[in-house]
């Protein structure tokens, strides 16, 4: 389900096929999401700063995701195409108070947040749906 939702989220949010590097992208998202869960539930303050093997793996995963999304943004800017997907809309967004658009880093972070949230939660929901349907065949056949 994670590979399927990665493909769907890539098409829906950014009009791209993320399946070319699907395994690397999916693994990086899983590692980053797991690390985020660990950090938010840790009882030890400042544990995220400790240079553990798990933290190095998380940093590598985050670097991979940054590289993928940054490359998509660069390609979109070079092509100067006007697409009304999430990436296109965020690229066009302007702060009414300042008239400025998003910085490249802010744009990357916003897209990455949506990519991670849309990917993981949907994959989990689909996985549980298939599991429950397999357990309750009468409901599935109705």
* Domain definitions of the chain by residue range: 2-141
- Band (pLDDT 50/70/90 cuts) for residue 43 is low
pLDDT of residue 21: 60
Distances (CA, A) of 14 to 52, 55, 68, 96: 34, 28, 12, 24
Half-sphere exposure (Cβ direction) of 10: Cα atoms closer than 13 Å: 20
60-108 residue pLDDT tens: 888 888 988 898 889 888 887 778 888 999 999 999 999 999 998 999 9
Distance in angstroms (rounded) separating the CA atoms of residues 75 and 81: 10
Percent of the chain with pLDDT over 70: 77
Whole-prediction pTM? 0.70
Question: Would you state the pLDDT for residue 102?
Answer: 92
Give the class (CATH, top level) of 2-141. mainly alpha
Least Cα distance to 119 among 80, 65, 67, 72 occurs for 65
Mean pLDDT (the chain, rounded): 80
Q: Is 49 helix (H, G, I), strand (E, B) or coil?
A: helix
Of the pLDDT bands very low, low, confident and very high (cuts 50, 70, 90), residue 114 is confident
pLDDT of residue 16: 83
The 10s digit of each residue's pLDDT in 12-30 is 888 887 776 645 666 776 6
Q: Give the integer Cα–Cα distance in Å for 94 and 109.
A: 16
Residues 6+ apart with CB under 8 A from 103: none
| Closest among 19, 68, 116 to 11, alpha carbons compared | 19
Identify whether the C-beta of residue 65 lies closer than 8 Å to the C-beta of residue 32.
yes
């Amino acid at each position: 389900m994670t590979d399927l939702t990665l493909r769907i989220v890539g098409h829906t949010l950014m009009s791209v096929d993320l399946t070319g590097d699907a395994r690397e992208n999916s693994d990086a998202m899983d590692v980053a999401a797991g690390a985020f869960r660990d950090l938010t539930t840790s009882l030890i303050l400042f544990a995220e700063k400790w240079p553990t093997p798990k933290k190095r793996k998380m940093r590598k995963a985050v670097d991979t995701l940054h590289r993928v999304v940054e490359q998509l943004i660069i390609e979109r800017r070079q092509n100067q195409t006007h697409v009304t997907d999430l990436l296109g809309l965020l690229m066009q967004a302007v702060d009414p108070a300042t008239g400025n658009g998003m910085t490249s880093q802010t744009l990357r972070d916003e897209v990455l947040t949506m990519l991670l949230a849309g990917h993981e939660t949907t994959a989990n929901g689909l996985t549980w749906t298939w599991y429950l349907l397999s357990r309750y065949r009468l409901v599935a056949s109705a």
